[in-house]
Chains A and B, each alone.
Chain A
Amino acid sequence: MGSSKQVKQLDTGMIITAFALSAIIFGAGVFVGYMMNREKLSAMETSISEIVSDIENFQLQFLSFDVLGENATCPLLESTLAAINKKSYETGNRLELGLSEMGGDASYVSTKLEYSRLLVSYWLLAEKLKAACETKVSTVIYFYAKDCSLCSDQAFVLTYMKNNYGSRLLVFALDADLGEPSVNTLKSYYNVTIYPSLIINGLKHEGLVSQQQLEDTLNLGVVVGG
């Protein structure tokens, strides 16, 4: 009969092999995921360069303002702005949501920097257009940061506004942590120290702004701007 002193066999080799094999499969999965993210990122870079050329086009059209006059130029400028708006909003969303797992990846950060620069020049042009053509659009710069408990709530409200106001509302979401010089210039110009902070039609609002407050302020802004 079985002796209780006897030591039973242990399959150490098999257990280690199983650990190693599942680690290899894990590594392969992470690698495929990484390649997919690279692919997504390069698509982002393509659409950013498209938007950049749209912005250059916009600047060119602005040059014709003095020669051809308001009536001929403004509709053209407004339609270009609407096109930039749509692409830029989508690109921003894809960068934030679809690639969030890339985190601190160097090429991801540099793409985000590029996108922030684009947003700043886009905002400047939008402000110029508003002044020149009396275009009825509202602009909101949204400064966010990592260490910010209410930023996700502010993003929620802004997404709601964007869903419902479409091209009448231009939202420029700027990551204040990136250290992009043009973003820093805006930050210090508006003296932004608290996150979230919104610059609604040129006026600063610190802390979380609800849909109600935002609508009130925007109507006011449109009236002032008009």
Chain B
Amino acid sequence: MLGTIVNYVAWYVFMFISVMWLLIMLKNRHNHNNSGLNESWFPRVSVLIPAYNEERYLAKTVNSILSLNYPRKLLDIIIINDCSKDGTRRIAEGFRSSGVRVFNNRVNMGKAASLNRVLPLCRGELVACIDADSTAEPAVLKKMTGYFRNPKIAAVTPALKVENARNTLEKAQYAEYMLNILLRKMLALIDSVHVTPGVFSIYRKNVLLKLGGFDTDNLTEDMEIALRIHDAGYSIENNMNAISYTACPEKIGELYKQRVRWYRGGLQNAIKYRHMLFNRRYGNLGMFFLPFNLIIIIAIVAIFCILVLDTASNVLRNIFQFGLVRWDFLGMLPKEMSLSVIMDYIFNTPMVLWTVGTAVSLMLLYLSFRMNSERLHARRLSYFAYVFVFPFIYMVFWAAAVFYELTGKKRKW
């Protein structure tokens, strides 16, 4: 009975999110893109590249910034070497001849403090931040700076894609990031962008300075600053056509660490910005998106607990029952399977609902790929892994994150 209710509630929440997306998309079908496009107005932009032990990727990242399609004299490129133990410093200083400024931290300060340290020294009125394991397409700046003509906009985010997805896990994340590109655009359209990823998000420098820079004591400082920007009454825009590329975890253990950190950061910030919940001042973000997210997190954890308890009690019951038939597992297999019994078992109401749900999620995935002019390869197993397996994996990650926060396990980066 409880299982049935959980099933229906989970379905309803999923369907609501999907319908909401489609409605936003429908309402804004004429203005998805391009309002950020900018061919005439070239503000000076500082590009900050914080690097800690990034000798493998740093050169690639800096080169992608050097080849941006933007007047070079208006680009102020800064590498902050956060006391790396490897060859990062040597590689960074090699770029000095290309006009890149390099700051070497005496002690390891962390990413947020590194960015804060150079913020007052930036020459640009806009500040772009890019992690040293990411790159951006040459046109990315031109596609994003235009939004800043509106003084209410304090930050603009690009579309994030996974670079070099090789194994199934990476390809599944590729699909996930594609879906997120669409999601971020939807969120921008309802003025609820709650995270400005460190993969070429651009900020208005004087707003950053006014707000006191990034939070140095936060697991997800890119979410914290986004919420702080909203808190101060500004808005965040997104251009889903401005592409930046990032590496993603290739092993499940790394993905677990990454997501638990993100989710714990999310919880930390939900508590820090709880005054925004159900607060009309923050519009859709305060009245809808943040409370809804919180409900979903509670639902995910509740469903996880119910599933675990249910499975555990079923397993115990089955052990007991097989004991009653002297562990004759083969004997439990029916001698003949009647097709009609199987059909009866398969065709029921949850089955109908989840077939509709699967169709809708595949449609959203298809739309995400289409809107990025990419093809969704129907035979890619990884996409199905994303649709069918990842929800359960993420449920475990969420439960772990909530558990760690409740038990007060030490937060670490």
Partners in one complex: yes
A-B contact pairs, 27 of them (CB 8 A): A2-B151, A10-B280, A10-B284, A15-B288, A17-B23, A18-B20, A22-B16, A22-B19, A26-B353, A33-B348, A33-B352, A33-B353, A37-B349, A94-B344, A97-B345, A98-B344, A98-B348, A101-B348, A101-B349, A152-B317, A153-B324, A156-B321, A156-B324, A157-B324, A208-B324, A211-B325, A211-B326
CB-contacts of A1-54 with B (<8 A): 1-11, 14-15, 17-19, 21-23, 25-26, 29-30, 32-34, 36-37, 40, 43
**With an 8 A cutoff between CB atoms, is B152 at the interface?**
yes
Task: Known A-B contacts: A1-B152, A40-B344, A210-B324. Give 16 more (CB < 8 A).
Answer: A1-B207, A2-B152, A8-B235, A9-B284, A11-B284, A18-B20, A29-B352, A30-B353, A33-B348, A33-B350, A33-B353, A93-B341, A94-B340, A157-B321, A164-B335, A211-B326
Question: Which residues of A have CB within 8 Å of B232?
Answer: 2, 4
Q: Mark B280-302, 1 if CB is under 8 A from A, else 0.
A: 11111111100000000000000
Q: Is the CB of A15 within 8 A of B281?
A: no
Q: Which residues of A sit under 8 angstroms from B11, Cβ to Cβ?
A: 26
B341 touches A8 (CB 8 A): no
Q: How far is the CB of B74 from chain A (nearest CB, A)?
A: 23
In contact, A2 and B233 (Cβ under 8 angstroms): yes
Are A160 and B325 interface neighbours, CB within 8 A?
yes
Separation of A160 and B341 alpha carbons in the complex (Å): 17
Q: Is the CB of A18 within 8 A of B16?
A: yes
Residues of chain A lying within 8 A (CB to CB) of residue B8:
26
Whether A14 and B324, one on each chain, are in contact in the complex, defined by CB atoms closer than 8 angstroms, is: no
Given the complex, which residues of B lie within 8 Å of A166, measured CB to CB? 335
State A98–B342 Cα separation when bound (angstroms).
8
Judged by a CB distance under 8 angstroms, whether A56 is at the interface is no
Lowest 10 CB-CB distances: which A-B pairs, in order?
Answer: A98-B344, A8-B283, A33-B349, A4-B233, A22-B15, A18-B20, A29-B353, A156-B321, A2-B233, A2-B234
Are B288 and A10 in contact, CB atoms less than 8 angstroms apart? yes
User: Beta-carbon contacts of B307-321 to A below 8 Å, as 1s and 0s?
Assistant: 000000000010011
Q: Is the CB of B334 within 8 A of A163?
A: yes
The reply on B331 being an interface residue by CB < 8 A is yes
Contact among B283, B317, B345 with A10 in the assembled complex (CB-CB below 8 Å): B283
| A residues neighboring B (CB under 8 Å) | 1-11, 14-15, 17-19, 21-23, 25-26, 29-30, 32-34, 36-37, 40, 43, 90, 93-94, 97-99, 101, 152-153, 156-157, 159-160, 163-164, 166, 208, 210-212
Partner of B282 from the list A8, A19, A97, A157 (CB cut-off 8 Å) is A8
Bound Cα distance A43, B352 (Å): 19
Q: Are A34 and B349 in contact, with the CB atoms below 8 A? A: yes
The complex places the Cα of A32 from the Cα of B24 at a distance, in Å, of: 28
CA distance A173 to B12 in the complex (A): 37
CB of B97 closer than 8 Å to a CB of A: no
Number of chain B residues close to chain A: CB under 8 A: 57
* Interface flag for B27 (CB, 8 Å): yes
Determine whether the beta carbon of B280 is less than 8 Å from that of A212.
no
A94 touches which one: B286, B335, B341 (CB < 8 A)? B341
Within 8 A of A (CB), among B1-52: 4, 8, 11-12, 15-16, 18-20, 23-24, 27
Output the nearest chain B residue to A100 by Cβ-Cβ distance.
B348
- The closest CB in chain B to the CB of A29 belongs to B353
Partner of A90, one of B287, B325, B341: B341
| Residues in A whose Cβ lies below 8 Å from that of B15 | 22, 25-26
Assembly CA distance A98 to B344 (angstroms): 5
Complex contact A157–B344 (CB within 8 A): no
CB of B338 closer than 8 Å to a CB of A = yes
* Contact status A15-B20, CB under 8 Å: yes
- Using known A-B contacts A22-B16, A99-B344, determine if residue A30 contacts B349 with beta carbons closer than 8 Å: yes
Question: A36 — which chain B residues lie within 8 A by C-beta?
Answer: 347-349, 352
Contact status of A153 and B341, CB under 8 A, knowing A19-B16, A25-B19, A29-B349: no
- A25→B353 CA distance, assembly (Å): 9
Residue of A nearest to B323 (CB): A210
Tell me the complex Cα distance, A11–B23, Å.
11
* Closest B residue by C-beta to A164: B331
CB distance from A50 to the nearest CB of B (A): 13
Q: Do residues A153 and B320 form an inter-chain contact, with CB atoms below 8 A?
A: yes
Q: Which of A32, A90, A211 contacts B352 (CB 8 A)?
A: A32
User: What residues of chain B lie closer than 8 Å to A29, measured between beta carbons?
Assistant: 349, 352-353, 356
Q: Specify which chain B residues have a CB less than 8 angstroms from the CB of A212 in the assembled complex.
A: 326
